[in-house]
Structure 1
Amino acid sequence: MAEEQDQSERTEDPTDRKLEEAHKRGDVAKSQEVNTWFVLTGATLVLLVFGHSMTASLTEAFAGLLGNLHQIPMDSHGLRNVFVRVTLASIAAIGLPLFVLMVAAFAGNAIQHKFVWSLDPVKPKASKVSPIAGFKRLFSPQSLINFAKGLAKLAIVSGVMFVIAWPERDRLDSLMSMDPAMLMSTVQEMALKLLAGVIAVMTIVAALDYAWQRHSWYKRQRMSLKELKDEYKQTEGDPMVRAKIRQVRAERGRQRMMAQVPQATVVVTNPTHYAVALKYEKGMAAPVCVAKGIDRVALSIREIAEAHDIPVIENPPLARSLHAAVDVDETIQPDHYKAVAEIIGYVMQKKARSAWRSNQDTMR
């Protein structure tokens, strides 16, 4: 009852940190049907590509062995030689196909989630050996759903296999009287038909089961408001996280500041160590600092200003003084009114003369 109440309180989507912690514990969204689909597909490919070669290799190895049984000494040395020959022949025939099946099984897990290395699922826990907890797991809603899914899958797959095998019932009756070479070919053909039908059904089953498992896993990772608050406190209390947050905020602030440089009226520089971008328009009480910086930031401000044809005036004392006295988005101090007014007046006169010359050239 307490568990159901706790689950009902988890109404918030899980954070990235919660999902990462679940992954470290080995708690991931995983469908066994997807693994089964990959193994079946791998088995079909093995039968299709290596079926004839495996049959030929095993037939040749065992034909020679069975044909010369009377010549094999029945002592420990002779039996050991027979065992070694049989083992080597089997490995040579099925080694590569088994490797393909192993790769298929690994791919079935790899495609569902990133690599997991966790010992948490195998750690001893009291709940794993508790009869009461085991009884609850056995008759839990999830167990009943899995049981129903297993029955449904068994019924569907059996039905498909029956539909495919029933038209071949006459050939099945004649298998016992077939020539061995023809028998293997017929069995391979019928096996491929069955596997193809089962894979077609399992494709749908695996897709639906993975969607369900993913939904159930994500729902299980949901958090309550209290958990969100606790995680936020833990995250904010981490010095490394706070430093990272400050770094991100500073970078975003620098980007916003740089975006305002093209709106500046003039940039006062040191010439390279300091740069202060000022904006002034009619009606403003005093010029406003839209950007400032030293060294690399100052160089970037200057480059942006030059790219947008904003006048760059070198005045080292004024640049250093402005940089120390005024912050971004603030008006300059009255102490700097006169010096800044002279610079802005010079810039405006220069723009006016440039505009007059352009008009004269246009009239000509």
Structure 2
Amino acid sequence: MATGGERTQQPTRRRLERARREGRAGWRSPDLQGAAGLLAAFAGLGLYGAYAGPRLAALFRLELVGAASPARGADWGTAIREAGQVLAAVAAPFVLALLVLGVGLAAAQGGLRFSLKAAAPDWSRVDPVRGLARLFSLATLWELGKGLLKLGAVGAVVGITIARQLAAYPALVAMPVGQALAQGAIWLKTVLVRGAAAYLAVALVDAGVQYRRHRQSLMMTVQEVREEFKETEGDPRLKSRRRELARRFLKAGLHRVADASVVITNPTHLAVALQWDAAVMVAPTVVAKGQDEMALLIRREAVAHGVPVVEDPPLARALYPVPLGMPIPAEHYRAVAAVLAFLIRRGRPEAEGGSAWT
């Protein structure tokens, strides 16, 4: 069974939202972006050469012809501007494609949300004690092992590829210069693409490690989940208490206090709300009652709705046993009539209802 200090619980939605605000929403593997960019660049050299080659050749011809002209040879500004325009047109699609690839990979690794907190300086990084702890941590050991793995994998693939090409290198001497350069470019592209592919394979392993480490950093203990539940949903004990009070409110008829004609109190221990309407009632009816805390709430509701509150402890104790919705017993008519008569004299016409029950 997991103890309170073990991180065995999945992160809650609030924990993930807090991590996003702090810039820790997603995992990051710089090697994955670098390897994918290199592989895309090397693999696309052949296709890109068909687009860039003719434009660069035309630029060289233009500049060589222009250099032979005395007037053009002195105009360095024009030559530099023309060369810059062609080079920008040639490089822009290639750079844009790599930029889109990089942004897409960054988004796949946890989004592109910017956080000022993540950009703020973290002085704990200059703590020598924590620095030593990080130096001998599993993360540092993985980075060291990953560096050796990259060196070994890329070196082995490149070495094997070059070793297989060595036997064909002497044939380049017998080829025309253009053909030899083209063949050499093909072999070089093969070496670069295979080396980048080996680098990407290592980067994929690193991506899995980084993802797992990131999820583990967001895992929560049982106690943390409980505390967060209390913060977001409220303490379960308090929620249970509120539900119990709500049931008691309904049971005590608190929602009927606003319709009452008077509230008789003990003055603090008991409260009984009476409603009197001569048109429909044979006697005043108990519409709400309560003890202690409920009595306080009934008095507050009465004050809030302008219902008069009369302190009469003997009458309050006598009326409290009457069930909600029932008229008061005949033996209490005179006492209640006196209270209502007092209210009428004070200017409470709603308390007036005749004296058929007195």
- Specify the TM-score bucket, using the shorter chain as the normaliser: 0.5 to 0.7
- 8 Å contact 1:55–1:184 — kept in the other structure? no
Q: Which runs of structure 2 are paired with 1:289-304 in the superposition (5 Å)?
A: none
Q: Separation in 2 of the partners of 1:38 and 1:204?
A: 10
Instruction: Provide Cα deviations, 1:94-147, integer angstroms capped at 9, x if missing partner.
Output: 211111111111122122323322222210221234455445434433122112
Instruction: Provide Cα deviations, 1:175-228, integer angstroms capped at 9, x if missing partner.
Output: 799766435533441233124423443453233222211111111111123321
Q: 1:72 to 1:224 in 2, by over 3 A?
A: farther
Q: Separation in 2 of the partners of 1:56 and 1:39?
A: 25
- Show the counterpart of 1:311: none
**Which residue, out of 157, 160, 164, partners 1:160?**
157
Give the match's secondary structure for 2:11. Answer: coil
Q: 1:114 to 1:201 in 2, by over 3 A?
A: same
- 8 Å contact 1:57–1:93 — kept in the other structure? yes
Q: 1:186 to 1:95 in 2, by over 3 A?
A: farther
- 8 Å contact 1:11–1:224 — kept in the other structure? yes
- Show the counterpart of 2:141: 144
- What is the identity, as a one-letter code, of the residue corresponding to 1:206? A
Q: 1:216 to 1:8 in 2, by over 3 A?
A: farther
- What is the identity, as a one-letter code, of the residue corresponding to 1:127? S
Q: Separation in 2 of the partners of 1:233 and 1:132?
A: 35
- Show the counterpart of 2:218: 221
- 8 Å contact 2:39–2:197 — kept in the other structure? no
Kindly state the Cα deviation for residue 73 of structure 1 after the two structures are TM-superposed. 6.9
**Which residue, out of 120, 124, 127, partners 1:123?**
120
Q: Separation in 1 of the partners of 2:40 and 2:175?
A: 28
- Show the counterpart of 1:32: 30
- 8 Å contact 2:28–2:207 — kept in the other structure? yes
- Show the counterpart of 2:15: 18
- Could you tell me the TM-score, scaled by structure 2's length? 0.56
Q: Separation in 2 of the partners of 1:69 and 1:206?
A: 48
- Show the counterpart of 1:57: 55
Structure 1 or 2: more helix by fraction: 1
Q: Separation in 2 of the partners of 1:158 and 1:222?
A: 38
The answer to whether 1:98 aligns with 2:95 is: yes
The answer to whether 1:111 aligns with 2:100 is: no
The answer to whether 1:48 aligns with 2:55 is: no
Q: 1:209 to 1:72 in 2, by over 3 A?
A: farther
Q: Separation in 2 of the partners of 1:130 and 1:164?
A: 46
Q: Separation in 2 of the partners of 1:42 and 1:224?
A: 42
Q: Separation in 2 of the partners of 1:104 and 1:72?
A: 46
| Structure 1, unaligned runs of 5 or more | 1-6, 247-364
Kindly state the Cα deviation for residue 9 of structure 1 after the two structures are TM-superposed. 3.5
- 8 Å contact 2:153–2:199 — kept in the other structure? no
- 8 Å contact 1:73–1:79 — kept in the other structure? no
May I ask how many residue pairs the two structures share in their alignment?
A: 234
Q: Separation in 1 of the partners of 2:95 and 2:145?
A: 32
Q: 1:131 to 1:123 in 2, by over 3 A?
A: same
Q: 1:187 to 1:96 in 2, by over 3 A?
A: farther
Kindly state the Cα deviation for residue 15 of structure 1 after the two structures are TM-superposed. 1.6
Q: What percentage of aligned pairs have identical amino acids?
A: 25
Q: 1:32 to 1:69 in 2, by over 3 A?
A: same
Instruction: Provide Cα deviations, 1:284-307, integer angstroms capped at 9, x if missing partner.
Output: xxxxxxxxxxxxxxxxxxxxxxxx
- 8 Å contact 1:47–1:188 — kept in the other structure? no
| Structure 2, unaligned runs of 5 or more | 244-358
Q: Separation in 2 of the partners of 1:72 and 1:131?
A: 66
- What is the identity, as a one-letter code, of the residue corresponding to 1:163? I
Q: Which runs of structure 2 are paired with 1:1-364 in the superposition (5 Å)?
A: 9-27=6-24, 28-66=26-64, 68-71=66-69, 78-169=75-166, 181-182=178-179, 184-237=181-234
- 8 Å contact 2:33–2:105 — kept in the other structure? yes
| RMSD of Structure 2 on Structure 1 (CA) | 3.4
Kindly state the Cα deviation for residue 64 of structure 1 after the two structures are TM-superposed. 3.1
Q: Separation in 1 of the partners of 2:76 and 2:234?
A: 71
